[in-house]
Structure 1
Amino acid sequence: MNHEHAFVCGNPVLDFAATLRARRSARFEMFATPDRLDAWFIESGLVDSVVPGGEADVERAKAVREAIYHLVTARRHEQDYDQAALDLVNDAARRPPATPQLTRAGRRTEATVEQALSLVARLAVELLSGPDVPLMKECGNPECTRVYVDRSRGTRRHWCGMESCGNKFKAAAYRARKKDASAAAGR
């Protein structure tokens, strides 16, 4: 299967929140169509198959995603939760979740978009009330707005992922240093 979504945040809830990229600048929407949303649920590993959703499912998923992002941001900055965001996530979490089934081939989870969204919302409740809260950081790339769980030794990680942001940032810094050095040499 061709994976088009990125999973670098260390928690599917944070990967879900990161499907609106570069929030401060370009704002790139990963859930442009219902099939992109369906693909995310499957690629995330939360479900094995999803009943194809429609535009209304996409709008609901985006609303829940934005509510999760606001709650994560509030938690990171030790601010009060926005009540509307809290209500939206809790409402999604109250819906029946996808239920794994045992088959001859092993475990299989089939879901509707609402059931898959319920799983994400329940995981958000766990994340935001759990031990990983102090480990949540925003990527050091100013263009990137992903929040990730830093489980590195000494919690020294600066990027959501080396492939996505770390290498780009390091390469840009290297080029800037090289340019400065050659400019200094030419003085």
Structure 2
Amino acid sequence: MNLEHVFLCGNPALDFAATLRARRSVRFEMFVSGDRLDAWYLESGIVDAVTPAGESDVERAVTVREAIYELVTARVAEEAFGRGALAVVNDAARRPPAAPQLTATGRWTDATQEEALSVVARNAVELLSGADVPLMKECGNPECTRVYIDRSRGRRRQWCGMDSCGNKLKAAAYRARKKQAQAVGAR
């Protein structure tokens, strides 16, 4: 599996939660180092620069990520939030966030690790208490555990992304139909 971060869930908090991939099978960790965490913050666009992450920053980010995932999956399942996960996310959201600045060339956001993580946690708070809650779905690919916001017409989207999961599922369904048709024709 590659180490590229993807942003297809429709909200930074959901994309952050998706950095532990395939939770029900091979569990692929994207935050294997401080550099990977830094890259996520930059690639997500929530900050333009971030102080380099140390091991404790990665541990804290993973703790917040897991709490966000727990809260998101509880909300999707229409279950009560866990108190521990609530405390973790609220503590991170309570910290000062990264503050964008206006420069001669435009907007620039320089952040510490704590400020960047606060932005992610605040996104989670807004998401889980906002109008997009009914639009959250888990990907239909059994191997994928991403939760995404379905803004498709009729809310019929079945997977987190066409390139990542949709094509795989469609191709597998096509092969299964073709195999079944051949089996019926051979009788």
**In which range does the TM-score fall when normalised by the shorter chain?**
over 0.9
Structure 2 distance, partners of 1:112, 1:4, is: 22
Q: Aligned ranges for residues 36-185 of structure 1 at < 5 Å?
A: 36-185=36-185
Render the CA deviation track for 1:144-184: whole Å, top value 9, x for unaligned. 00000001111110010000000010001111111122222
SS of 2:107 mapped into structure 1? strand
Structure 2 distance, partners of 1:116, 1:149, is: 22
Q: Which moved more, 1:76-85 or 1:124-133?
A: 76-85
Counterpart check, 1:15 vs 2:10: no
SS of 2:137 mapped into structure 1? strand
Structure 1 distance, partners of 2:153, 2:176, is: 29
Structure 2 distance, partners of 1:31, 1:182, is: 45
SS of 1:59 mapped into structure 2? helix
Structure 2 distance, partners of 1:102, 1:5, is: 27
SS of 1:102 mapped into structure 2? strand
Counterpart check, 1:26 vs 2:35: no
**Runs of 5+ consecutive residues of structure 1 not aligned to the other structure:** none
* TM-score, with structure 1 as normaliser: 0.97
SS of 1:39 mapped into structure 2? helix
Identity %: 74
Shift of 1:93: 0.5
SS of 1:142 mapped into structure 2? coil
Structure 1 distance, partners of 2:64, 2:82, is: 13
Shift of 1:4: 1.7
Point out 4+ residue stretches in structure 1 off by more than 6 angstroms: none
Shift of 1:39: 0.3
Q: Which moved more, 1:153-162 or 1:173-182?
A: 173-182
